[in-house]
Amino acid sequence: MDAISNVPAPANERVLGYAPGSAERAALESRIKELSGASLDLTMTIGGEQRPGGGKPIDVVQPHNKAAVLGRTREAGAQDVRAAIDSALAAAPAWRALPFDERAAIFLKAADLLSGPWRATLNAATVLGQSKSVQQAEIDAACELIDFLRFNVAYARQIYADQPISSPGVWNRMEYRPLEGFVLAITPFNFTAIAGNLPTSAALMGNVVVWKPSPTQQFAAHFTMRLLEEAGLPPGVINLVTGYGEAVSEVALTHPDLAGIHFTGSTATFQHLWRTVGENIASYRGYPRLVGETGGKDFVLAHPSADPAVLSTALIRGAFEYQGQKCSAASRAYVPRSVWDRMRDDFVAVAESLTVGDVASDLSAFMGAVIDERAFAKHKAAIDRARSASHIDVLTGSYDDSTGYFVKPTILESADPTDEIFVKEYFGPILGVHVYDDADFDAVLTQMEGISPYALTGAFIAQDRYAIAAASEKLRFAAGNFYVNDKPTGAVVGQQPFGGARASGTNDKAGSMYNLVRWVSARAVKESFTPPTDHRYPHMG
Ligand SMILES: NC(=O)c1ccc[n+]([C@@H]2O[C@H](COP(=O)([O-])OP(=O)(O)OC[C@H]3O[C@@H](n4cnc5c(N)ncnc54)[C@H](O)[C@@H]3O)[C@@H](O)[C@H]2O)c1
Ligand SMILES: N[C@@H](CCC=O)C(=O)O
């Protein structure tokens, strides 16, 4: 019980291929079939008990087939949120007293379950509920979540092992206490892995959590909660509340025991949370830790030395995979005319050839639908605006919401690099392209560096090493994740710790030690073995 154990050395989970005829494809197809007709009660989980929220009902549908209802959830009311907080606080003493190894074992077991018998379930739920293609579900709901769970345990061990030096006659120790109170985890629709990581990373460090997933990710969140229970998570450590979050803001943000917020979502929502905390700052027991990873307007900048095939692939995958609904998605590109002239027609043809459809019934599809009616309306308005703007050329792009919220890959070329297509986050499959004269590279580099308020991800495509060095330096603060000759999406836990600065968040790097450090409050302990017994110093004579 008192041993200091080694934790298993983490390695990234292998991404399965789901080729026709493979065992994993058969398992996934059968689970999709079962879950698509399940019509579940998507309840809250408070103190280990599943119960419905007290507010209005919300249907959770398949975005690519909006008539297909996967289940029904309910808005949590103020009483529900209070109950979740009470249950978390009641669970806190036993949870924080549990040795780290015992806590870690739960999350390591969850990773193993997800790698094995739960893989098809979480992937199927993500395909159905969030309209991810098989490939996109696999890298998210299976691999990234497994990686978060395993790597976090290893990073936590590193934190606990980091101890101060001691001097003769003195032993100094650092104790990494959990925060006093509860952590509020609020998670976005677009990644099952992020939704799973935000509550579990704080819980691993000994905290108790109130978790509010997005209603449009509620289907996969429901199964994530069941997975954690099967792995042995005690009741009350993570309490799931449902709905859009109004009652959560009202109750949790004014509660004296709010110890931290672990948020991922839009910049506007995070600013609302931060502002509310600021307004209530005198009412908390401590200063709540605010960790938020938020929006982006991620760029791909190409140099005249860029390889057009590398650029084209980075843009197709970076802008259109998961319908451009990754915070890291390429949404603005700067391309020199000499390169554009060589790639434009092929690039547009490839974008038009991407299959967009019902990802649950056609596992070969490259893209599904955007998440909901609100997102569809936003993308439709952006495309309509571009169609009517004389300075924008719509090279390809259309939308159709007759059966699902479908937006096809959209490429907008504009000679004006200050247009909103280079500034505003649409969070959909809409790519703004600015074509520049090769000789203007330096001016373009300066202009695009600060035109958007965000600084999340960015990519530079070039063969010229001097240009790579110069752009890397000039764009140092323009992206928290910077890619050279690659797409700006697809960060892997343990390889590219993820997060951005400026309006993109607090850059606490999900899936790293730096994130976990935010969920502990260190106590330095000094013990003197030979304490002084006389107050006088030598200089006093
Ligand atoms: N930087 C990153 O790592 C990262 C990762 C994923 C998504 N994102 C960003 O997330 C956004 C898309 O996700 P989204 O649409 O789910 O974001 P969102 O801000 O609309 O919602 C995020 C979460 O906040 C909740 N919420 C909204 N208003 C609330 C309130 N007043 N009180 C309490 N909770 C509230 C939502 O219900 C949801 O659970 C994009 O801007 C994207 O760039 C960022
Ligand atoms: N970590 C993911 C993005 C998560 C945001 O949505 C990536 O790197 O593509």
The answer, yes or no, to whether residue 5 has pLDDT greater than 90, is: no
Quick one: which ligand is closest to 296's CA?
1
Crossing angle of helices 465-474/441-450, nearest 10°? 30
| Cβ of 194 less than 6 Å from ligand 1 | yes
Q: How confident is the model at residue 103 (pLDDT cuts 50, 70, 90)?
A: very high
Q: Identify the pLDDT of residue 237.
A: 99
Q: Helix, strand, or coil here: 244? A: coil
The answer, yes or no, to whether residue 2 has pLDDT greater than 70, is: no
pLDDT digits (tens, 9 = 90+) for 481-535: 999 999 999 999 999 999 999 999 999 999 999 999 999 999 999 999 999 999 9
The mean predicted confidence, pLDDT, of the chain is 98
| Cβ of 480 less than 6 Å from ligand 1 | no
CA angle centred on 175, ends 174 and 178, rounded to 5°: 140
Substitution site in 139, 144, 191, 326 for ligand 2 pocket (most atoms within 8 Å of beta carbon)? 326
* Mean pLDDT to the nearest integer, 52-64: 97
pLDDT digits (tens, 9 = 90+) for 287-344: 999 999 999 999 999 999 999 999 999 999 999 999 999 999 999 999 999 999 999 9
CA distance to 9, 435, 440, 465, 527, per residue, from 443 (Å): 47, 13, 5, 19, 60
DSSP per-residue string spanning 291-343: EEE----EEEEE-TT--HHHHHHHHHHHHHGGGG-STT-EEEEEEEHHHHHHH
The answer, yes or no, to whether residue 4 has pLDDT greater than 90, is: no
Closest CA to 456 of 271, 294, 265: 294
Using the 8-state DSSP alphabet, how is residue 86 labeled?
A: H
Q: How confident is the model at residue 21 (pLDDT cuts 50, 70, 90)?
A: very high
Q: How confident is the model at residue 147 (pLDDT cuts 50, 70, 90)?
A: very high
Stated pTM of the model: 0.98
Residue pair 314/330 in contact by the 8 Å Cβ criterion: yes
The answer, yes or no, to whether residue 1 has pLDDT greater than 60, is: no
Residue with tokens 């507010």: 55
CA distance to 88, 122, 150, 197, 232, per residue, from 147 (Å): 26, 15, 5, 10, 19
Quote the CA–CA distance of 178 and 272 in Å, as a whole number: 26
pLDDT digits (tens, 9 = 90+) for 236-263: 999 999 999 999 999 999 999 999 999 9
For 490, half-sphere exposure in the C-beta direction (CA atoms, 13 angstrom radius) is 18
Active site residues: 293, 327
Q: In angstroms, how far is CA 189 from the centroid of its own chain?
A: 9
Distance (Å) from CA 111 to ligand 1 centroid: 25
Q: Identify the pLDDT of residue 75.
A: 98
Distance (Å) from CA 49 to ligand 1 centroid: 26
State the DSSP H helix or E strand holding residue 448, giving kind and residue range, or none if neither: helix 441-450
* Mean pLDDT to the nearest integer, 11-25: 98
Buried b (16+ CB within 10 A) or exposed e, 141-157: bbbbbbbbbbbbbbbbb
Quote the CA–CA distance of 8 and 167 in Å, as a whole number: 33
Distance (Å) from CA 488 to ligand 2 centroid: 9
Quick one: which ligand is closest to 144's CA?
2
* Cβ neighbours of residue 194 closer than 8 Å, sequence gap 6 or more: 187, 188, 264, 510
| Cβ of 197 less than 6 Å from ligand 2 | no
Q: How confident is the model at residue 273 (pLDDT cuts 50, 70, 90)?
A: very high
Residue pair 193/220 in contact by the 8 Å Cβ criterion: no
Distance (Å) from CA 536 to ligand 2 centroid: 60
State which ligand 1 atom lies nearest to the alpha carbon of 244.
Answer: 37
Tally of CB atoms within 10 A around 269: 18
Residue pair 139/123 in contact by the 8 Å Cβ criterion: no
Backbone angles phi, psi at 301, to 5 degrees: -110, 125
Quote the CA–CA distance of 24 and 18 in Å, as a whole number: 6
Percentage, residues of the chain above pLDDT 90: 98
pLDDT digits (tens, 9 = 90+) for 396-445: 999 999 999 999 999 999 999 999 999 999 999 999 999 999 999 999 99
Token reading at 375: 């997102």
pLDDT digits (tens, 9 = 90+) for 362-375: 999 999 999 999 99
State which ligand 1 atom lies nearest to the alpha carbon of 427.
Answer: 40
